[in-house]
Amino acid sequence: MYLTEPLLTDVVKKQFLHKLKAYTGVFNSLLVMQLIGIILGFGTSSGGSSSGGTLTVNYSFLTGDVPVIFTLLWAFSMGILVTTLAYRNDAFSFVSNRLSHNISSFLFLLFASVIAGTLATLAGSIIKLISSFQSDPLFAETSGLFSSPADFFIMTSTSVLYTALFASMGYVVGSFIQRSKFVLPLLIAAIFVIPLLQLNMRGQDLIANSVAFFGTETSLLLFLLKIIVTISILFAISIGVTTKTEVRK
Amino acid sequence: MTVIEFNDVTKTYGKRIVLNKMTFSIRHGVLTGIIGRNGVGKSTVMKIIAGHIQATSGDIRVFSDKPFNSLKVSANSILVDDTMSFSDKLTLKDILKEADRFYPNWDAPLAQRLFDYFSFHSDARQIDLSKGKKSTFNAIIGLASHCPLTIFDEPTTGMDTVVRKDFYRALLKDYIAHPRTILLSSHHLEEIEDLLENILLIHNKTALFHGPVTDLQEMFVSLIGKNELISTFIADIEIFSSQINGSFSEILVKNNFTPDEIKQLHTQGIQLVPVSADDAYVALTTGTKGGIDHVFNGTLVN
C-alpha cells in the first residue's frame, strides 16, 4: 500500500471546503443578529426642527451602523466559537494537523466576514430605505449603491474589514481560552480593569489610541494595510498558542 | 518495513504516569491487538500514534515521521474511537462524501454496501445515532478509508452481538483483500484472538508482551487431573488460576516443563491442555492470586 505525501495547501483547501459545509450554522446566527440590528436600528434616529420666519426645516439623522455593530459582535463570538473543542475534534476526524486546521478556520472566518460585512451594509440600507418611506423626506443624503457607487464600495469594504478584525480578535481570544482555563476569568477581569488603569503610552490613553489607529484612518488603502497587518499578527499568535494543543483526548 | 516505533516513550497526566519508558515497534502489514486491563493506557498509545496527543518524553516514529502535527501521518492513518465526531450540519451521506475527498484510498462502493447492509438512513446525523449505531458508522469510515495505518480503539462499544460479529468478519475480509497495518484494541480478547496475528499487551505502564498470539498461548499450559494428584503437584509450583470441577482440578501454570517432566505427568494421569490467549492474558496480568474461586474458598494467596 503506497503512502500519500499530502501538501499543506491541498489539505487546507479540502478543509476549507469541508468547513463551508460543516459550519453553516454560523450564518443562521448571523441572520438573527442582523435582524435584531435592523429592528433596533429604527429606534436610533435623532432629529429636530429649526424654523426661521416662514421656513421650517425638519431634519433627522439616520444610521445604518446598528446592524454593523451587531455583525461585529457576531464576528467576535464566531471567532471564539470555531476554536472550541467540538469544532476542533470534528476537524481531526479527517486529515488535519494544527496548522492546516488553523489556516482553514481562518480562511473560513475571512470568507464569513466578507459575507457578513456586505450584508451588514445592506441591512443598514434597509433601515434608511424603510425610514425614508416613513418620514417622507425632501432631501436625503446617503451613499447608496447607485447614487454613489464609490462611497458604497468604501462603506462595504470598511464594514468587511472591521468584521474580519473582530473575528480575528475572537479567534485569538478563543485560542487562549482553549490553552488554559485561567484565561477566561483573567480576560473578563481585564475588560473591567484595563479601562480603569488609564494605561498611558507617551501621554495618551492606550485604548483611545488603538481605536483612533483604525477609526481615524481616512485612506482605504492604509486602512486595509493596518487591518491586514493586525490580522496577521493575531493569526500568528493564535497559531503559536495552539500548536501544542492535544485533540480528541 | 517498520510502521510504528516507540522508544522509551513516557506519558504523564499531571503526576500520574500512564506510560513509562515504553518501547516497541510494529511492522508493516500486521494486524496487532492492543490488549490490557482497564485504564492501562491503550487509548493513550493509540492517540499518540495518530498524533492527537503528545508524549511527555521519548521518541515516536510513524512512517518515520514524528506523528504529532504530521500531515503525512494524518493522511495515511485513521483512528476510529468514540471521540470521532462530525458536524451536526452534515448528514451521514455528506460525511461519506467528505471522507471520500480526504482519504485517497477511500473505497466508496464498500462504504455504500456496508452503509446499506447496516441499514443506515442517508439523512440521519451522526450525533442522533444510538451508541451502537454510531460505533458502526465510525467503523465503516475506518474500514472504507483503507488507510495504510488503520487504528480501531474499542470499535465495538455499544454494538450488539450480531453487529459485533459482522464487524470483525468485515475487518478480516477487508484486511485480507487490502493488507495494511491495523491496530485493534478490545477488552474482550476472546472475541478477537482468532483474528489477530500479534498481540501487544500493555501492563504496568509498559509493553509486557509483544509477539504472535501463539507465543502468548504457549507461555502457559493447563493441567487437568484428579484433585488429589493436582494438590500434591501444586505444592512447589506457581499457579495462576485454578478451578475445581467435581473430583477433577484444573490449574493454569507456566509452560516450562521438560519433555521428561511431561512424560512423567502423563504417566501420573495429569493431562496437559493448551490454553486460550485470553486465559494466558488474564494469567499474565492478574499474577498468582488464584482467581475469584479462592475468594469464596477462603484460600486467597496474596
Assess whether pLDDT exceeds 70 at residue A144. Answer: no
What are the pLDDT digits (tens) for B208-226? Answer: 999 999 999 999 999 998 8
Residues listed for chain B: 302
Q: What is the pLDDT of residue A58?
A: 77
Assess whether pLDDT exceeds 90 at residue B138. Answer: yes
Q: What is the pLDDT of residue B290?
A: 53
Q: What is the pLDDT of residue B81?
A: 94
Q: What is the pLDDT of residue A199?
A: 61
Cβ-defined contact of B146 to A247 (cutoff 8 Å): no
Domain residue extents for chain A: 8-43+61-132+142-179+217-242
What are the pLDDT digits (tens) for A4-20? Answer: 899 999 999 999 999 99
What's the average model confidence in pLDDT over B17-35? 95
* Minimum-distance CB partner of A247 among B52, B104, B105: B52
With H, G, I as helix, E, B as strand and everything else as coil, classify residue B6.
strand
Assess whether pLDDT exceeds 80 at residue A243. Answer: yes
What are the pLDDT digits (tens) for A106-119? Answer: 999 999 999 999 99
Give B79→chain A minimum CA distance, Å. 8
Q: Is B12 exposed, middle or buried (0-12, 13-18, 19+ CB in 10 A)?
A: middle
Q: What is the pLDDT of residue A151?
A: 85
Give B84→chain A minimum CA distance, Å. 6
Q: Could you give the count of Cα atoms lying within 13 Å of B119 in the half-sphere of its Cβ?
A: 1
Cβ-defined contact of A94 to B99 (cutoff 8 Å): yes
Q: Which residue has the cell 489539505?
A: A11
Reported confidence tier of residue B296, pLDDT bands at 50, 70, 90:
confident
- Minimum mean pLDDT among A150-154, B34-38, B98-102: which range? A150-154
Assess whether pLDDT exceeds 80 at residue A136. Answer: no
What's the average model confidence in pLDDT over A197-209? 66
What residue of A is the nearest CA neighbor of B29? A1
* C-beta atoms surrounding A67 within 10 Å: 30
Assess whether pLDDT exceeds 60 at residue A138. Answer: no
Closest CA to B198 of B252, B277, B276: B277
Give B44→chain A minimum CA distance, Å. 8
Residues 56-75 of A with CB under 8 A from B: none
Q: Which residues of B110-142 are buried (b: 16+ CB within 10 A; e: fewer)?
A: bbeebbeebebeeeebbeebeebbbbbbbbbbb
Distance, in Å, from the CA atom of B143 to the CA atom of B78, rounded to the nearest integer, reads: 9
Predicted TM-score (pTM) of this structure: 0.88
Q: What is the complex's ipTM, to 2 decimals?
A: 0.87
* Minimum-distance CB partner of A21 among B53, B89, B179: B89
β B149-153/B181-185 pair status: parallel
Distance, in Å, from the CA atom of A242 to the CA atom of A176, rounded to the nearest integer, reads: 8
CB B45 within 8 A of CB B37: no
Assess whether pLDDT exceeds 80 at residue A64. Answer: no
